[in-house]
Structure 1
Amino acid sequence: MEAIEGVAIIILVIAIVILIYYYLMNSPETTSKLRGYIPKTADAHVNEILSNDSGYELAKADEVAPKESDSVGKRIKVKLSDIDMSGLNTDVFSKKIDSFLDEKSDQLIKDWCLATTEDLNELESKFTQTTGKVDTLEKSFDEFKKSSEEFQKVTEEKLDDLDKRIESLENK
């Protein structure tokens, strides 16, 4: 069960990352702020990703080599407090995730062979029935055992009586 939970968490994290990515790419305010945070030493494909419509230019080859004294933190200069979070509505985001899970929940349950509360209730009732039947069988077995012991005693007595009669006949 732990592996399934891990896979489910990974899928949810990937879905959240994809939704955040699409939100950031479709929000012009956030895109313009991201351009300001990306260093000139960034990958050559950044302009393609952030759509080439701004005055942002990549650094020249001689500017790309960072100074040894510059730290990664100084080159990136990203602060979470500087990112505008007013446009990010977590309620809408949560509703989208909930609606996606509601749409796909039956398929996920079927594909991953997950148990629902209905399944658990059904299993619990079957367990209760089985427990009752086992108790009844145990009582019946105990009764049979008692009657069997009595039968064995009676049979042994009869056999002893027959042995005595056979011995008395042999001795005559």
Structure 2
Amino acid sequence: MSPAELLAVLILAGAILLLIYYYINEPRQIDVVKSRVLGRREGEMTKKAYKIGDKIMSKVKEVPISTDTISKKIDAFLEEKSDELIKDWSLATKDDISKLEKRLNAVFRNIDELEHRFNEYREHTNRKFKSIEERIKRLEESVFKK
């Protein structure tokens, strides 16, 4: 490519860029371009957006904000399904816990009773052991004295 051809291409590219710049900066042209691209004018779009926003807000206002209704529904569901939930999840009921507490109390009483009996047995055994030791000492003394 010769220097003259290169200069011609650069001038042509500069002219195209200049035309695009003026086309974009013309305010009337922007509105025309927007209306062509969007199919509507800005005012119409904002009105439509407000209408859609109002519809959404009215739907949101219809939804109850209070958690009381949700809590009541959850409570009702749990009441209906409580037996199934207890069986499925192997949960303990208050009756089960009270039965286990009674059994635990009985075990504690039995342990206390066994401990008391063991202490009595130990005392009795220690007394017997002492008496046997004393008898052995007496026998040893009598045997060794002779």
Q: TM-score, normalised by structure 1?
A: 0.44
- Amino acid of the structure 1 residue aligned with 2:83: D
Query: What is the distance in 2 between the residues matched to 1:134 and 1:87?
Result: 58
CA deviation after TM superposition for structure 1 residue 121, in Å: 0.9
Q: Take 2:68 and 2:133, find their aligned partners in 1: how far apart are those partners?
A: 83
Identity between Structure 1 and Structure 2 (%): 35
**Deviation (angstroms), 1:94:** 4.0
Asked if residue 168 in structure 1 is aligned to residue 113 in structure 2, the reply is no
Q: CA deviation at 1:156?
A: 0.2
* Aligned equivalents of 1:87, 1:149: Cα separation in 2: 79
Query: Over alpha carbons, which structure has the higher Rg?
Result: 2
Residues 98-145 of structure 1: CA deviation (Å, up to 9, x unaligned) = 232122211211222211111111111111111111111111111111
1:147 aligns with 2:146: no
**3-state secondary structure, aligned to 1:115:** coil
Higher relative contact order (CA 8 A, sep 6+): 1
AA of the residue aligned to 2:124: S
Distance in 2 separating the partners of 1:102 and 1:162: 81
* Equivalences for residues 115-134 of structure 1 within 5 A: 115-134=92-111
Number of equivalent positions: 94
**Matched letter for residue 97 of structure 1:** I
Structure 1's 158 and 96: CA in aligned 2 closer, same or farther, altered over 3 A? same
What's the RMSD between the two structures over aligned residues?
A: 3.3
SS of aligned partner of 1:114? coil
Supply the AA of the counterpart residue of 1:163: E
Structure 2-normalised TM-score?
A: 0.51
